[in-house]
Amino acid sequence: MTRPALALCALCLLAACDGPLSTLQPSGPIATEIAWLWWAMLAGAALITVFVLGLLAMGFGAPRKTQARVWTHGLGLWFSMAILGSVLGAGLWVGERILPRDDGAVTVQAHAFQWGWEFTHEDANGAAMRSTDLLHIPAGQPVDVLITSEDVIHSFWVPQLAGKMDAIPGRTNRARLKADTPGIYDGICAEFCGVGHAHMRFTVQAHADWPPDLSDEGTEQQEGAP
Amino acid sequence: MTDIPTPAAASARADSVHVAPAPAQRALALHRDLTRVWRNDRGLWGQITAVNHTTLGLRFMGTALVFFAIGGILSMLIRAQLATHQGAFLDTALYNQIFTMHGSIMMFLFAIPMLEGLGIWLLPKLLGTRDMAFPRLTALGYWCYLFGGLIMLTALLFGVAPHDGWFMYTPLSDATHSPGINADVWLLGVTFVEISAVAAAVEITVTILRQRAPGMKLTEMPLFAWYMLGTSAMMLVGFPPLIAGSVLLELERAFGWPFFDPTRGGDPLLWQHLFWLFGHPEVYIIFLPAAGVMSMIIPVMCRTTILGYGAIVAAILALVFLSFGLWVHHMFTVGIPHMALAFFSAASVLVAVPTAVQVFAWIGTMWKGHPQLHLPMYHICGFFLTFVMGGLTGVMLAIVPFNWQAHDTAFVTAHLHYVLIGGFVFPMMAAATYWLPLITGKARIRGVGEAAFWVILLGFHGTFFIMHLTGLMGMPRRIDVYPDNPEWVWLNLTSSIFSFVLTIGFAMFVLDLILQATLGQRTRRDPWDAPTLDWAMPVPSPSYNFASLPISRHLGQSARDAVLSLARGEGALAGAARGRRELLVTSVGVARPHHVAILPGNTALPLYLSASIGVFVLMMLAGQYRLAALALVPVGALIWVWARGMAPAGDLRAVEVAPNLNLPVHHCAQHSLARTGLAAVLVADGTLFVSLLFGVAFLSVVTPATPPPAAGADTVTSLVGLGVIGIALVLAALVGRLNTRSAAALGLGANLLALAALLWLAFSQMDDPTAHARDALRAAVAGYVGLHMLVAAAMAAFVLDQFRRGEITPQTQGALGAWQMWQHFTTAVALLAALVLIAQVGVS
């Protein structure tokens, strides 16, 4: 195959990874770091698979003199520990960078119920603004989502912005999101929650200005000031 | 008395475990005698009363295969539904039942029974004995499995099957969010089936530890036995948390005890911890027997010995321990503290090391030997290709940031199918093609099996490889339609098409088995030229396995050299001269001959007992709780009858096992199989108790506090009650040693007194268990302890009855030892429970 054809194939494959819920089309630094982690692990896994299957293929042949310790200790223990240690290290490094921390990030609330989401953010006056199935966040800065549930366990997931976090009755969980640019991002409930699970979707709208001026839109209701 | 009584044997003990060979006899005469004693009764009734391990092992595997087909049909419905984004034909409620049942059937009704069946069928042959340690228990396990499975299938037929996913997360599965009997079907059905898992674990442990051929040291036994020992140990410790969780959730659903209800002090995460404390070891429970199969077949296919025996045994032990330390990686998204995330991530990654040691040892074995591409070797290559990839995606999922994206998506579905089909189904297909000549006595018909392998391999990877991508593109598990995501259509459609190819492949595989069993040519003995005892017998294997039991000189030989010598009675315990089922019991470490166990013959008692347990389960399902309590009366009565079958009777004289070696029968021996078995039961039982204490600790420490209502108990009265219980139980434990009739009577009285005190405490002092999870757990612990007191009282009464019948003599112990063990355990858990209660009250 010629080089342009290969490049075209690769492009097609990458394009095939796109979609409003795709973790491989990240739109924020958190999801981007995880996507890079995935591509690196995929490359490593592919190499290891080829290596092991190569050893397997070479096993079909005349008997060879071979030392047990090379296999059980050399490959089994040290080779695998080296690989696993570096993967674990990469995971911890990325994990540390994407954790929510106490840095005064904007905080919004997500309350899950069968089957939908009630989101709350504060407007300029500090009043609670509620919306159903539409979450407003600022673009370009970290946002912590405090996640709770009304009834059963759900899971809050916006694949293009960050990983998921469960909504568990009786607890409050915190997840950090960050969107690079203003825009609309899709979200979905990831934990099976009954008959309406497949339709428990929501949208995240990232605004350039914060708090956003929502006076034109009819979906929000303003609560009394706290 | 217990050991070897002759002077000649004393010197035999000195030089380890040498057993003298017996003179040769006529092989045909031995075969006739043994068959008369060991065979099943004729006809259908003979199938019902069968307790033989070959019959039951095959029946376990055959039934598991049927459930595999049913689970496979359900998966076809799932794939048909997902082939297009609008969904084909199922409504969501039915779809939820179907994927829940697909997972539950494949886990609980296919994989676990299949590996139990393999162990039950193969182990006695491999270890050189004639049956499992407790044949009636094997049969009981089978019937419980069958009835539990039928209850779940019937529910599916009537549209009331479980629909909350196979891990049944609360609160979705509680009475508020899942009214109706769907969730009860899962909780009661699976728990019923798990009786068979615990039973199998107990007897596999005992059989491996106590029934190896004399001279087969623990450190030299075939690797499959090591793998099954690891598996059964994990089952003894892994299943009790699931059973505890299921019982608690059923109590919550039936009686409103709020263990998992956050509004009344419970915690839905407690269910997840209990479930995955079982659920993750479960993966290795399934993988270890399959890996054992690999370790057996690869050396034979490569005409060599296994490379790195010691390293593999170390890897097995490491897996057994490590696999209990990583259940939390199923819960990375529930909001766990960061340090715990890092710890469990590291532990989850670490578990890949012993797995890698085994994989490389197997490949090294192939380098060392000369692999021959027989059909089992195809499936072994299928294992390597699939399992290596599944293992690598498993490592990825152990990395927390990636897990947060991939968790609960189709990526996980793909990963677990790579691990389970790669790590279990491919090795099981290798096992089937390897051992089928021993089952049918026939050689295979060339061609069909190879074709089946290629179709399965193509179908499997076509279905599941791109499913990784489907998941990364955002498709969650357990959705039935995806109208807004056209980008998933081509992925799902491809998976669906190849899943039908996969199904066709499995159908071809079954066809190959059927063709071989019906049309195959007769095969010679030991067609693979294997070194292990499982092939040192005629094909198909006779009901008694070995006409005489292998001794040290047979262990170093190939199966082909040993087979005629064993058939002519040159080993131990040749024939069936005394007209009863006998086998040799050996010591744990070096397999020194210890005594002769007399096994029970064919009986329908296991069927009656499991049917009476089934009546209890059905009454619980129907919500008839009073009738359910009543249904326990026949269960108790049948257990009494069962125990009566173990009483000393018949000819109790010592048996000549080999020239100059006379051994006592088990009634007259100190460390019988039953004693080892009871120890294994108590390990499982103790784990159940620890699971309850884990619940107490978890709700006290981790759960966000919901204040309990004011306690109504009076401290002084409660302490007096606890004191009475404690003194009575310590007394019962002490008098058990006295070995007299009056001591047994005193023990019975003490247990009844303790039970009465507990009931009085429960009704006068205990707070309403429906009000708060703390009180509900206290009631559950009290129920656990009370049940043990009741059993202890029944055992004391049984011993008293044996004294009356004159069955306990200076030579025979009867049930005295069993009662003592149980009594000690009961006293210990009661005291521990009281301490925990006092500590909990003191802290709060």
Calpha distance A145→A202 (Å, rounded): 14
Compute the average pLDDT of residues B606-633: 96
Calpha distance B704→B265 (Å, rounded): 8
Please tell me whether residues A84 and A128 are part of one structural domain. Answer: no
Calpha distance B128→B212 (Å, rounded): 6
Q: Who contacts A220 (Cβ-Cβ below 8 Å, separation ≥6)?
A: A129, A130, A131, A214
Please tell me whether residues A52 and A127 are part of one structural domain. Answer: no
CB B126 within 8 A of CB B54: no
DSSP bridge pairs for A122: A128
pLDDT at B16: 56
Calpha distance B482→B495 (Å, rounded): 15
In chain A, which residues have their Cβ closer than 8 Å to the Cβ of B351? Answer: none
Calpha distance B597→B583 (Å, rounded): 5
Domains of chain B: 28-36+527-667 (no CATH), 53-519 (1.20.210.10), 707-843 (1.20.120.80)
In chain A, which residues have their Cβ closer than 8 Å to the Cβ of B356? Answer: 75-77, 79-80
Q: What are phi and psi of B122, to 5 degrees?
A: -90, -40
Nearest to A96 by CA among A30, A158, A26: A30
Q: Which of A19, A48, A63 sits opposite B369 (nearest CB)?
A: A63
Q: Please measure the distance between the N-terminal and C-terminal CA atoms of chain B and give it in whole angstroms.
A: 55
Calpha distance A72→B361 (Å, rounded): 6
pLDDT at A12: 66
Please tell me whether residues A87 and A150 are part of one structural domain. Answer: no
Q: Which helix (H) or strand (E) holds B224?
A: helix B223-255
Contact call for A166 and B165, based on CB within 8 A: no
Residue A223 falls within a domain, yes or no? no
Residue A27 falls within a domain, yes or no? yes
Number of C-alpha atoms within 13 angstroms, CB side, residue B58?
Answer: 14
Number of C-alpha atoms within 13 angstroms, CB side, residue B331?
Answer: 27
Compute the average pLDDT of residues B653-663: 94
**Residues of chain B above pLDDT 90, percent:** 89
Please tell me whether residues A118 and A184 are part of one structural domain. Answer: yes
In B369-486, which ranges are continuous DSSP H helix? 375-398, 400-406, 410-420, 426-440, 448-472
Q: Who contacts B789 (Cβ-Cβ below 8 Å, separation ≥6)?
A: B729, B751, B754, B755, B758, B826, B830
pLDDT tens track for B674-723: 999 999 999 999 999 999 999 999 998 888 877 877 777 788 888 899 99
Compute the average pLDDT of residues B230-250: 97
Compute the average pLDDT of residues B364-383: 96
Q: Which of B308, B396, B474 sits opposite A41 (nearest CB)?
A: B396
Please tell me whether residues A85 and A117 are part of one structural domain. Answer: no
**Confidence category of residue B843, pLDDT binned at 50, 70, 90:** confident
In chain B, which residues have their Cβ closer than 8 Å to the Cβ of A189? Answer: 476
Q: Which of B96, B333, B364 sits opposite A68 (nearest CB)?
A: B364
Interhelix angle B182-210/B92-104, rounded to 10 degrees, is 10
Q: How many CB atoms lie within 10 A of CB B799?
A: 28
CB B547 within 8 A of CB B521: no
Interhelix angle B135-157/B112-127, rounded to 10 degrees, is 160
Q: Which of A22, A84, A159 sits opposite B349 (nearest CB)?
A: A84
Contact call for A76 and B399, based on CB within 8 A: no
CA B149 to chain centre: 15
Residue A85 falls within a domain, yes or no? yes
Please tell me whether residues A38 and A120 are part of one structural domain. Answer: no
**Confidence category of residue B14, pLDDT binned at 50, 70, 90:** very low
Interhelix angle A80-98/B338-350, rounded to 10 degrees, is 160
Residue A28 falls within a domain, yes or no? yes
How far B108 CA sits from the closest chain A CA (Å)? Answer: 21
Mean per-residue pLDDT pooled into runs of 10, chain A (226 residues) = 64 76 96 96 97 96 91 94 95 91 91 97 92 96 96 97 96 95 97 96 95 69 43
Please tell me whether residues A189 and A170 are part of one structural domain. Answer: yes
Residue A12 falls within a domain, yes or no? no
Q: Are strands A183-189 and A201-207 parallel, antiparallel or unpaired?
A: antiparallel
Domain with A150 in it: 106-210
ipTM of the complex: 0.94
Q: Who contacts B783 (Cβ-Cβ below 8 Å, separation ≥6)?
A: none
Nearest to B229 by CA among B215, B243, B219, B214: B219
- Distances in Å between the Cα of B522 and the Cα atoms of B122, B297, B432, B516, B527 are 21, 22, 17, 10, 11
pLDDT at A102: 84
Contact call for A19 and B358, based on CB within 8 A: no
In chain A, which residues have their Cβ closer than 8 Å to the Cβ of B349? Answer: 84, 87-88
In B622-740, which ranges are continuous DSSP H helix? 625-644, 673-701, 715-735
Nearest to B149 by CA among B95, B242, B71: B71
How far B274 CA sits from the closest chain A CA (Å)? Answer: 17
CB B192 within 8 A of CB B155: no
CA A219 to chain centre: 27
CA B454 to chain centre: 32
Nearest to B117 by CA among B460, B532, B435, B512: B435
Is pLDDT at B13 greater than 60 in this prediction? Answer: no
At B94, the amino acid letter reads L
pLDDT at A3: 64
Calpha distance A71→A79 (Å, rounded): 10
Give the per-residue SS3 of B250-301. HHHHHHCCCCCCHHHCCCHHHHHHHHHHHHHHHHHHHHHHHHHHHHHHHHHH
In chain B, which residues have their Cβ closer than 8 Å to the Cβ of A31? Answer: 405
Q: Which of A52, A90, A190 sits opposite B388 (nearest CB)?
A: A52
- What is chain B's mean pLDDT, rounded? 94
Contact call for B404 and A155, based on CB within 8 A: no
User: Which one of A93, A152, A155, A199 makes the best mutation probe of the B interface by having the most chain B beta carbons within 10 Å?
Assistant: A152
Nearest to B515 by CA among B614, B619, B433, B393: B433
Question: Which residues 691-730 of chain B have a CB within 8 Å of chain A?
Answer: 703-704, 706
Please tell me whether residues A93 and A137 are part of one structural domain. Answer: no
CATH number, position A126:
2.60.40.420
Calpha distance B383→B377 (Å, rounded): 10
DSSP bridge pairs for B662: B656
Please tell me whether residues A119 and A33 are part of one structural domain. Answer: no
Q: Which helix (H) or strand (E) holds A130?
A: strand A128-132
CB B132 within 8 A of CB B123: yes
Q: Which residue has the tokens 């770091």?
A: A33
pLDDT tens track for B455-496: 999 999 999 999 999 999 999 999 999 999 999 999 999 999
| B315 and A CB contact within 8 Å | yes
Question: Which residues 354-373 of chain B have a CB within 8 Å of chain A?
Answer: 356-361, 363-364, 366-371, 373
Calpha distance B793→B751 (Å, rounded): 5
Calpha distance B53→B579 (Å, rounded): 19
Please tell me whether residues A86 and A140 are part of one structural domain. Answer: no
In B736-807, which ranges are continuous DSSP H helix? 741-764, 773-805
How far A188 CA sits from the closest chain B CA (Å)? Answer: 8
Is pLDDT at B28 greater than 70 in this prediction? Answer: yes
Compute the average pLDDT of residues B72-81: 96
User: Which one of A13, A69, A81, A87 makes the best mutation probe of the B interface by having the most chain B beta carbons within 10 Å?
Assistant: A87
Total number of domains in chain A: 2
Give the per-residue SS3 of B75-132. HHHHHHHHCCCCCCCCCHHHHHHHHHHHHHHHHHHHHHHHHHHHHHHHHHHHHCCCCC
Is pLDDT at B841 greater than 90 in this prediction? Answer: no
CB A143 within 8 A of CB A167: no
Residue A3 falls within a domain, yes or no? no
pLDDT at B8: 41
Calpha distance B478→A194 (Å, rounded): 10
Residue A5, classified by CB atoms within 10 Å of its CB into exposed (0-12), middle (13-18) or buried (19+), is exposed
At B485, the amino acid letter reads N
Q: What tokens does B118 get?
A: 């393999």
Nearest to B297 by CA among B382, B235, B400: B382
- Distances in Å between the Cα of B305 and the Cα atoms of A123, B219, B361, B554 are 74, 15, 11, 17
Q: Which of A20, A56, A153 sits opposite B268 (nearest CB)?
A: A153
Residue A9 falls within a domain, yes or no? no
Residue B780, classified by CB atoms within 10 Å of its CB into exposed (0-12), middle (13-18) or buried (19+), is buried
Interhelix angle B816-843/B715-735, rounded to 10 degrees, is 160
pLDDT tens track for B265-294: 999 999 999 999 999 999 999 999 999 999
pLDDT tens track for B504-520: 999 999 999 999 999 99
pLDDT tens track for A125-166: 889 999 999 999 999 999 999 999 999 999 999 999 999 999
User: Which one of A72, A155, A171 makes the best mutation probe of the B interface by having the most chain B beta carbons within 10 Å?
Assistant: A72
Calpha distance A114→A94 (Å, rounded): 33
DSSP bridge pairs for A98: none
CB B663 within 8 A of CB B654: yes
DSSP assignment letter at B656: E
Please tell me whether residues A113 and A204 are part of one structural domain. Answer: yes
Please tell me whether residues A128 and A199 are part of one structural domain. Answer: yes
Residue A2 falls within a domain, yes or no? no
User: Which one of A17, A42, A174, A191 makes the best mutation probe of the B interface by having the most chain B beta carbons within 10 Å?
Assistant: A191
A115 upstream amide cis, omega within 30 of 0: yes
Nearest to A34 by CA among B552, B581, B472, B456: B472
At B592, the amino acid letter reads R
